[in-house]
């Protein structure tokens, strides 16, 4: 074979190494102030949280939340790496049949590829022997026991089988990877939606999205494509080593000089790139968080002309990512440059040794050519195995981030507890409640708050900003648990209820309702049982009760009108009315309105007030959180809180407003003065 042909063959069998990617970042889990929390760090870095509730209420109230940043030390990295890789492959169990089928196809395609060096070497020797023959008789050459023409036909068939096997491998691995990533993303989203509010307060949405999207994709690729490349490298390396040993053990011994330095460099590179990948993932997480915040606040940024400031802030995060990426590039360049030099030096040693063996008659030209090509295959396989290792570590790092979320048991579990059966006709009570938000443990919102709401009441909670009005709704919905004391419905602590079943019996409308990017009808019937969602009569009634019919009728598509992302196609008042219609369609025994009518006009507010009055007559509870005088007037009882969450006074609106010393009167006077200014 000519030097040009050898170069072309080496170029064909050589493969480019994939660039190392992003590693892992860990987040701090959150624990409530009233719970003693112990973190046990297993080899797989999963956080196992055991919560003890044996402390006295006073002791629990004095405890502080325990925050721990999960950072793997160098001592635990090796153990965790092995455990994480094992868990990584456990994800592939449901796809075991597909992966085994792909492995068979890899063996077939690899075996076909490994016949090429032997065939080329044989052809070179046959051609050389023919050239030496002095006889003018041209006899058809026999190759592997077949005439030349039949040999080439058979070889074409073998190559066709190899091509089909390679195609089948790619198709199977692609579909398997898509199934795996779909299942992993679904499981991760389920885990994220089951976490308590404190966890979501402590972790930005951008990081959770990163775990759902990029990390899940990296895990899938690591299990399917990367494992396929690793298996192919092992097969080619094993076959290549066997064929080299068969051709010449002396040259094989020279070839083995490549292995020790390559293994040492791969081990060093794997550790280095894993650490850099973790750092890079941390920086990328910061970049994602800043981008998420800026894009969500685009209108505010533009209104205050803060574009330049935000661009500078984003550019700082970009530079941080670039700095780590530069370190990674230098590390990768050094590794691949060094391994390339070792490989080329080994090939040079093989050529020198092989040339001397040809001169001494120890090996033929064809055998040396075959050996050199097998050496390229084997060297490339060792090279690819080092890449497989680094990619596997990257997949294990991404898997840790996904496992960390999947393995986390929510402190407030949504499906543990008894069925409350019904909340109708039951009293809501807050009993000596002490509470501080987990993210602000030193700022106590409630200190021994007592509050009771009886069936048939429409209670309006009033107080200064920061007085805990909205916290009442959060505790009743059990987004958080009190540090001490209890919230009861019908005398039963809501912590004993199955949270999912309990929340289905509550209704909530917030000041800024969250609408999904769907139609008005889909938003009104969101998460409601089919017998309600499909009842057009009840839907129409709910629309009338929330005064939605008129503005919906003005839209060409009516109820099928899309509201846009977060309801951007509707005005503030329209969004509130859609949310109210959803609550009225549900018709819960307990309805919570958190500034739910703040954007309504007087006509719509009057219609909603009439609906709430009818609820009182039906013996249902409505808890309104408001500061508007018109909303307060429509309630049957007013509860006034101070800045520490204490109940200052309670009574009807007429009783409190007629008292010159009333806290409600002073509060409304201040708000009226502020509005006038």
What would the 3-class secondary structure string for 47-84 be?
A: EEEEEECCCCHHHHHHCCCCCCCCCCCHHHHHHHHHHH
Helical spans, DSSP H, in 71-147: 74-90, 96-132
- Of the pLDDT bands very low, low, confident and very high (cuts 50, 70, 90), residue 676 is very low
Is the pLDDT at 459 greater than 60? The verdict is: yes
pLDDT at 325: 87
Q: How far apart are CA 470 and CA 463, in angstroms?
A: 10
Q: Decide: helix, strand or coil at residue 623.
A: strand
For the segment 510-514, the average pLDDT, to the nearest whole number, is 85
Lowest mean pLDDT of 79-93, 177-191, 578-592, name the range. 79-93
Q: How far apart are CA 639 and CA 626, in angstroms?
A: 11
Burial of 157 (0-12, 13-18, 19+ CB in 10 A): exposed
- Assess contact for 656 and 495: CB atoms under 8 A: no
pLDDT at 139: 61
pLDDT at 297: 82
pLDDT at 671: 64
Burial of 6 (0-12, 13-18, 19+ CB in 10 A): middle
Q: How far apart are CA 113 and CA 236, in angstroms?
A: 8
Is the pLDDT at 18 greater than 50? The verdict is: no
CATH architecture of 79-130+140-407: Up-down Bundle (1.20)
pLDDT at 525: 92
**Quick one: which H or E segment has residue 458?**
strand 458-462
Average pLDDT, the chain: 79
Which residues have C-beta within 8 Å of that of residue 415, sequence separation ≥ 6?
498, 499, 500
- Of the pLDDT bands very low, low, confident and very high (cuts 50, 70, 90), residue 387 is confident
Residue among 524, 523, 528 at smallest CA distance from 539: 524
**Angle, vertex CA 85, rays to CA 231 and CA 30, nearest 5:** 155
Which residues have C-beta within 8 Å of that of residue 399, sequence separation ≥ 6?
84, 87, 88, 91, 215, 219, 222
What are the structure tokens assigned to 21, written together? 């990617």
Q: How far apart are CA 45 and CA 400, in angstroms?
A: 7
For the segment 636-651, the average pLDDT, to the nearest whole number, is 89
Is the pLDDT at 275 greater than 50? The verdict is: yes
Instruction: List pLDDT tens digits, range 124-139.
Output: 777 766 655 555 555 6
- Assess contact for 564 and 572: CB atoms under 8 A: no
Is the pLDDT at 5 greater than 50? The verdict is: no
Neighbours of 137 (CB within 10 A): 5
Is the pLDDT at 572 greater than 80? The verdict is: yes
Contacts for 666-670: CB closer than 8 Å, 24+ residues apart: 667/462, 667/463, 667/464, 667/640, 668/629, 668/632
pLDDT at 132: 58
Instruction: List pLDDT tens digits, range 40-55.
Output: 333 333 333 333 333 3
What are the structure tokens assigned to 223, written together? 């299990």
Share of the chain above pLDDT 70, in %: 83
pLDDT at 131: 59
Q: How far apart are CA 472 and CA 465, in angstroms?
A: 13
What are the structure tokens assigned to 224, written together? 């399917």
Is the pLDDT at 537 greater than 70? The verdict is: yes
The CATH 1.20.1560.10 domain(s) of the chain lie at 79-130+140-407
Half-sphere exposure of 77 (CA within 13 A, CB side): 16
For the segment 609-624, the average pLDDT, to the nearest whole number, is 93
pLDDT at 243: 86
Q: Which residues pair with 430 in a beta bridge?
A: 451, 487
pLDDT at 546: 93
For the segment 395-417, the average pLDDT, to the nearest whole number, is 81
- Assess contact for 328 and 277: CB atoms under 8 A: yes
- Of the pLDDT bands very low, low, confident and very high (cuts 50, 70, 90), residue 252 is confident
For the segment 79-93, the average pLDDT, to the nearest whole number, is 71
- Of the pLDDT bands very low, low, confident and very high (cuts 50, 70, 90), residue 82 is low
- Assess contact for 590 and 428: CB atoms under 8 A: yes
Q: How far apart are CA 229 and CA 372, in angstroms?
A: 22
What are the structure tokens assigned to 314, written together? 């984003």
Handedness of CA 162, 165, 170, 171 (dihedral sign): positive
């Amino acid at each position: 074979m000519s030097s040009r042909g050898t170069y072309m063959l080496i170029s064909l069998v050589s493969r480019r190494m994939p660039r190392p990617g992003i590693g892992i970042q860990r987040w701090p889990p959150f624990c409530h102030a009233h719970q003693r929390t112990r973190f046990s760090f297993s080899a797989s870095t999963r956080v196992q949280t055991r919560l003890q509730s044996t402390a006295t209420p006073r002791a629990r109230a004095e405890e502080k939340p325990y925050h721990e940043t999960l950072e793997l030390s160098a001592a635990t990295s090796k153990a965790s790496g092995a455990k994480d890789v094992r868990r990584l492959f456990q994800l592939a169990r449901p796809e075991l049949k597909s992966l085994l089928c792909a492995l068979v196809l890899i063996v077939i395609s690899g075996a076909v590829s490994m016949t090429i060096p032997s065939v080329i070497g044989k052809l070179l020797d046959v051609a050389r022997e023919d050239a030496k023959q002095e006889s003018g008789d041209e006899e058809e050459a026999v190759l592997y026991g077949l005439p030349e023409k039949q040999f080439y036909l058979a070889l074409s068939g073998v190559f066709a089988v190899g091509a089909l096997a390679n195609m089948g491998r790619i198709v199977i691995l692609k579909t398997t990877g898509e199934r795996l990533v779909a299942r992993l993303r679904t499981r991760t989203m389920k885990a994220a939606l089951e976490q308590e509010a404190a966890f979501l307060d402590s972790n930005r949405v951008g990081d959770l999205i990163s775990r759902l999207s990029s990390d899940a994709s990296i895990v899938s690729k690591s299990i399917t494509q990367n494992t396929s490349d690793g298996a192919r490298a092992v097969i080619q390396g094993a076959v290549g080593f066997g064929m080299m040993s068969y051709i010449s053990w002396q040259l094989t011994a020279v070839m083995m000089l490549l292995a020790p330095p390559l293994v040492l460099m791969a081990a060093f590179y794997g550790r280095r790139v894993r650490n850099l990948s973790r750092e890079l993932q941390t920086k990328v997480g910061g970049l994602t968080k800043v981008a998420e915040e800026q894009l969500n606040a685009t209108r505010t940024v533009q209104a205050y002309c803060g574009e330049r400031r935000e661009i500078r802030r984003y550019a700082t995060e970009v530079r941080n990512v670039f700095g780590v990426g530069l370190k990674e590039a230098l590390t990768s360049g050094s590794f691949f440059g060094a391994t390339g030099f070792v490989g080329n030096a080994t090939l040079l040693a093989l050529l020198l040794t092989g040339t001397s063996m040809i001169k001494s008659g120890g090996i033929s030209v064809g055998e040396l050519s075959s050996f050199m090509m097998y050496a390229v295959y084997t060297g490339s396989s060792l090279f690819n195995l080092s890449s497989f290792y680094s990619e596997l570590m990257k997949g294990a790092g991404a898997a840790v981030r996904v496992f960390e979320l999947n393995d986390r048991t929510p402190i407030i579990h949504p499906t543990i507890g008894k069925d409350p059966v019904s909340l109708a006709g039951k009293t809501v009570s807050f009993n000596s409640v002490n509470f501080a938000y987990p993210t602000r443990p030193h700022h106590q919102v409630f200190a021994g708050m007592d509050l009771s709401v009886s069936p048939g009441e429409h209670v309006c909670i009033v107080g200064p900003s920061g007085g805990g009005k909205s916290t009442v709704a959060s505790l009743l919905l059990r987004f958080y648990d009190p540090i001490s004391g209890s919230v009861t419905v019908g005398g039963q602590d809501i912590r004993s209820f199955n949270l999912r079943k309990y929340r289905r019996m509550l209704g909530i409308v917030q000041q800024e309702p969250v609408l999904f990017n769907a139609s008005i009808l889909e938003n009104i019937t969101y998460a409601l049982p089919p017998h309600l969602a499909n009842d057009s009569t009840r839907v129409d009634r709910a629309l009338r009760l929330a005064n939605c019919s008129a503005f919906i009728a003005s839209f060409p598509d009516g109820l099928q009108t899309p509201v846009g992302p977060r309801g951007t196609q509707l005005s503030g008042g329209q969004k509130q009315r859609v949310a109210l219609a959803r609550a009225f369609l549900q018709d819960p025994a307990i309805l919570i309105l958190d500034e739910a009518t703040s954007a309504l006009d007087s006509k719509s507010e009057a219609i909603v007030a009439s609906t709430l009055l009818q609820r009182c007559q039906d013996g249902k509870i409505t808890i309104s959180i408001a500061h508007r005088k018109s909303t307060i007037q429509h309630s049957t009882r007013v509860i006034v809180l101070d800045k520490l969450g204490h109940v200052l006074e309670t009574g009807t609106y007429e009783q409190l407003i007629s008292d010159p010393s009333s806290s409600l009167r002073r509060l409304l006077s201040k708000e009226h003065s502020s509005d006038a200014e």
